[in-house]
Structure 1
């Protein structure tokens, strides 16, 4: 698609700006000196440096960075740095690059002048030879544009650089009156396409939508108004998401003014006294809000109708606020696994909803299942999985307590498929030395025990009795579980669950948060709060578990990329370990194989696990189709 950006005039910095460029530290020898200096990590991490720029220099810098972004590869780290600096300067000086300001005077109206969601009239035309459409904001929102210039340019300034096959490109804005301009996407809305193509593969449609939404979230853009009217299907059957981000501009004002897809929306994003009892409380659109809307889109895809059809909007909004959801469609392609995903996505508690990246992975797994490809986890009867199961159970025979640590979902799946569901486990269930794990928090204490009893085919009362009296139990909380308002219902429920667990004889809480105090004096492992999350959660969690006096054996399921080379190398350097060996391991994907990964990891990271009681097991890899599989290895510590 050709660039829609207008021709830019040549800007030159003032003498003061040139002196500032000479003073700033170079960012990288691979980039021009001026740009490298402007992107100095030490200087531009601080907003105050941007604020100290003179306005004429800021104007030049905005154009300079805008041009630089046109030449850099989006995967280049410098691209992200340029965009970050551009966003900050646009926000501080209430300006956008000149390429964002478009002339739509030659556009012709194709809809209106009746209100269409947040818009009054829709126009069609072209920008630099590229077909485009412009939507004129309704008068009520146009009057708020001065506010958007003060606060919204931070978001708008990055929309022009979003490029993905499943999103419609944003081209810019037109002033007086205000128009938002998008690339023209020939096609029809989602519902119309489904009704015109009843035999279309519904799963492929959902994967397209999830791909586009996953891309937006990876760029820190929340759609905020996802639904069928904002999803276009072109002639080839490819879906594209449009109209993203508008709620982030006007979130202070009545949501009804800008939302087109009300019946797809999370009711918690409604603002006003009807829901929150005070108009002073504002809720921003978040990725979890988009995941809720995606669940409604799934219903639309499998029914060919809007959610809650044929009920009017007013009745739908009331039903959503009461916690009601659409009934399960009867479409033959809507499997139990897919419907379970829908129910997770529209959970009343946003903290329990999956991220869209996880949703996308589940959709791919479902498509692989349909095509007879390798499932996400091998069946429990496979030779290597049986071997791992026996190794884990051997460990539990020898020690009093076992800890499992891993990314949410990986640990639960691994234990459920290999250990909890094995004949040997069922035979030795009465043994007081077996460990049960809650990897992440999904629901109440009773719900967890019920799921566990169903998995190992044991009476709930018997299971609860063993948990309370003899079985070691470790509760793992990751970021989505503890990063909550302490007064929220979710936090209260988690607190109640921890309090009940705390009354058990053998219990250890592992968390990267200091949100929860010691309740009944049970042993608690304090984990340093990470600065960036992700791999640090896993790494620090492993280190703390390894040093815990209540843990005899540590079993881990590590994602193939649980932390970046940069993060891991920094931690290795701080402890005086061999960084070069570490980098060799992570630079070589084949190093994940048992023959090389075992030796490399043993020689490089063994100092982390100083206890002779610890064995480490497991890693998750990806096959060529993207399905999750395990590549097992075992490391014995004898010193």
Structure 2
């Protein structure tokens, strides 16, 4: 063994690769490689686990440069070494996360940025909830404490067409662009604060929320690429996602109303329920579930988007009457009652899902025949709900809702939050009638 690795954990496998190259090579540069590698290894071996993790990205970059300088092109072997080193880093993060050490909150600026970036990458590469959930919580706490964020969260975009917005949602204007040769949507949040510190406050809240989004992996969740902070000055960082050519689910179903079978519509609602079930399993509340926030991908599957943005707005602007507006027709009664604390919850998401079903089946917003939102709110508080969609009833183009789905809707918009089923029950029920063809009782016990 050419190098003492007894005190080294991160990067150990890179060292083994370099040693293997040196042994098998007659190149005169091999001794220069050894000297330079020895210097990096000795430097890394002086640090504890937390500092080793903080410096791991830089160490790996340095070793890669050394290997490249040595003209080593065995990409398969290098990929294997990366994987092995990733496993070491993952184990070290598990140790420091569960050790309860406070040292990580007292790292220097340089170290904490490296630590957060390495943790962010580790979460992205991991699917184990027992690791991801506490790791994500730690990362958000570190970001809040340091007011800093992982550098890899911010992207260098190929291009953005800033003069041609392609859509406007409840919280953002959407612009087309390109990133690594792929079509993207750039979401520029609408911010009305005039004070710079208020915009900064909103930006920090947004970044805290997207730290959750970037780590999610599910077939029915819109992927999150990262953030762009360069295109629009004076705004919070823009959210970058894939471009969904088929648009939002409400418009998709409405435009294809004559050709889209009811079973296909039910499948989209099932996929939405599955996506919401996943969010809830990750302790994430969507907060603004409606047809405009469910997108349809190129394969015509549902993708939940914009989760958490309503909650960011609530926290930043305060839960005033203005903050409660916007999606009133999808809001649960407890969110409309000014005598109660305004807090979006999993149960209010379940209520919104029922309203989404009405929206998709009628092709119009819930309570389409009531002009003013305040009147809708008063009706909901009196336990009034929209009627069952029927092909013979208004508005025009309404689909007839099946017994099975209607029972699900009624259960989901129960007046008391505790009487509503959870989304796991709902998603398991929508596509699974019992053997008699009738709907099983899905109300919470």
TM over 0.5: yes
Which residue of structure 1 lines up, in the alignment, with residue 252 of structure 2?
Answer: 193
Matches within 5 A, 1:462-481: none
TM-score by length of 1: 0.49
Larger Rg: 1
User: Deviation string for 1:8-64 (max 9, x for gaps)?
Assistant: xxxx9997992354899xxxx997545433322675546x44423333221010111
Any idea what SS the aligned residue of 2:185 has?
Answer: strand
With a CA cutoff of 8 Å and minimum separation of 6, indicate the structure with the bigger relative contact order.
Answer: 2
Q: Report the 3-state secondary structure (helix = DSSP H, G, I; strand = E; otherwise coil) of the residue aligned with 2:174.
A: strand
Match status 1:108 vs 2:165: no
- Whether contact under 8 Å (2:268, 2:301) holds in the other structure is yes
Distance 2:137 2:311 in 1: 18
1:244 counterpart (291, 307, 331): 307
Shift of 1:226: 0.6
Q: Give the corresponding residue for 1:40.
A: 95
> Post-superposition shift, 1:355?
0.6
Q: Deviations over 1:231-283 (max 9, x none)?
A: 2234543122111110221223247459753321224335xxxx425xxx752
Structure 1 partner of 2:356: 297
* Equivalent residue number for residue 7 of structure 2: none
| Structure 1 Cα separation of the partners of residues 128 and 439 of structure 2 | 28
Looking at structure 1, the residues matched to 271 and 294 of structure 2 have their Cα atoms a distance apart, in angstroms, of: 10
Is 1:184 the equivalent of 2:243?
yes
Residue 371 of structure 2 is aligned with which of 302, 306, 312? 312
Q: Do the aligned partners of residues 264 and 16 (structure 1) sit closer, same or farther apart at CA in structure 2, a change above 3 Å counting? A: farther
Paired position in structure 2 for 1:352 = 419
Instruction: Assess if the C-alpha contact under 8 Å between 2:220 and 2:274 holds in 1.
Output: yes
Q: Which residue matches 2:386?
A: 326
| 1:342 equivalent in alignment to 2:409 | yes
**Aligned partners of 1:124 and 1:132 also within 8 Å:** yes
1:138 aligns with 2:138: no
Alignment-derived partner of residue 178 in structure 2: 126
* Bigger shift: residues 310-319 or 199-208: 310-319
Unpaired segments ≥5 residues, structure 1: 1-11, 378-408, 413-439, 442-639
Compare the two structures and name the one with the higher helix fraction: 2
The structure-2 alpha-carbon separation of the partners of 1:105 and 1:218, relative to structure 1 and needing over 3 Å to count, comes to: same
Would you say the 8 A contact 2:44–2:52 is kept in 1?
no
CA–CA separation in structure 2 for the residues paired with 1:76 and 1:311: 44
Q: Specify the alignment match of 1:162 in structure 2.
A: 216
Q: Deviations over 1:406-451 (max 9, x none)?
A: xxx89x9xxxxxxxxxxxxxxxxxxxxxxxxxxx75xxxxxxxxxx
Q: In the alignment, is residue 207 of structure 1 matched against residue 266 of structure 2?
A: no
Residues 18 and 333 of structure 1, relative CA distance in 2, 3 Å threshold = farther
- Equivalents in 2 of 1:142, 1:36: separation in Å? 46
The yes-or-no answer on 1:91 pairing with 2:144 is yes
Q: Say which SS state the counterpart of residue 365 (structure 1) adopts.
A: coil
Q: Distance in 2 between matches of 1:76 and 1:287?
A: 19
CA distance in 2, matches of 1:50, 1:256: 39
Tell me, in whole angstroms, the C-alpha distance in 1 between the residues paired with 2:282 and 2:308: 12
Q: Residues 47-83 of structure 1: CA distance to partner in whole angstroms, max 9, x if unpaired?
A: x4442333322101011122323433x1474444543
Residue of structure 1 equivalent to 2:285? 222
Does 2:119 correspond to 1:65?
A: yes
Cα RMSD of the aligned pairs, angstroms, is: 3.7
TM-aligned CA distance change 1:35 to 1:239, over 3 Å:
closer
Q: 1:20 to 1:233 in 2, by over 3 A?
A: closer
Structure 1 residues 329 and 63: CA distance shift in structure 2, 3 A? same
Aligned counterparts of 2:422 and 2:283: Cα–Cα separation in 1: 13
- For 2:225 and 2:253, how far apart are their aligned partners in 1? 28
Summarize deviations over 1:585-637 as a string: whole Å, max 9, x none.
Answer: xxxxxxxxxxxxxxxxxxxxxxxxxxxxxxxxxxxxxxxxxxxxxxxxxxxxx
CA offsets 1:463-517 (integer angstroms, 9 cap, x no match): xxxxxxxxxxxxxxxxxxxxxxxxxxxxxxxxxxxxxxxxxxxxxxxxxxxxxxx
Q: Which residue of 1 aligns with 2:71?
A: none
Q: Are the structure 2 counterparts of residues 153 and 159 from structure 1 closer, same or farther at C-alpha, using a change threshold of 3 Å?
A: same
Alpha-carbon distance in 2 for matches of 1:285, 1:217: 12
Report SS of the residue matched to 2:225: strand
Once the 2 structures are TM-superposed, how far is the Cα of residue 297 of structure 1 from its aligned partner?
0.8
Displacement of 1:108 after TM fit?
Answer: 1.2
Q: 1:301 to 1:255 in 2, by over 3 A?
A: same
Alpha carbons of 1:355 and 1:128: their partners in 2 closer, same or farther (altered >3 Å)? Answer: same
Matches within 5 A, 1:446-465: none
Q: Secondary structure at the match of 2:380?
A: helix
| Alpha-carbon distance in structure 1 between the residues aligned to 2:46 and 2:356 | 50
- Deviation (angstroms), 1:353: 1.0
Q: 2:48 is matched with which residue: 3, 19, 30?
A: 19
In 2, the alpha carbon distance for the partners of 1:180 and 1:304 equals: 28
Residues 159-180 of structure 1, C-alpha deviation per residue, up to 9 Å, x if partnerless?
Answer: 1121222121122223332222
Of the three residues 345, 352, 367, the one matched with 1:286 is 345
Counterpart contact for 1:291–1:346, Cα < 8 Å: yes
Match of 1:40, SS state, is helix
Distance in 2, matches of 1:137 and 1:171, equals 16
As a proportion of its length, which structure holds more strand?
Answer: 1
The alignment status of 1:276 with 2:338, answered yes or no, reads yes
**Partner SS, residue 314 of structure 2:** coil
* Number of aligned residue pairs: 353
The alpha-carbon distance between structure 1 residues 215 and 339, as it changes in their structure 2 partners (threshold 3 A), is same
CA drift of 1:153 comes to: 4.2
1:495 corresponds to which residue?
none
Partner of 1:140: helix, strand, or coil?
coil
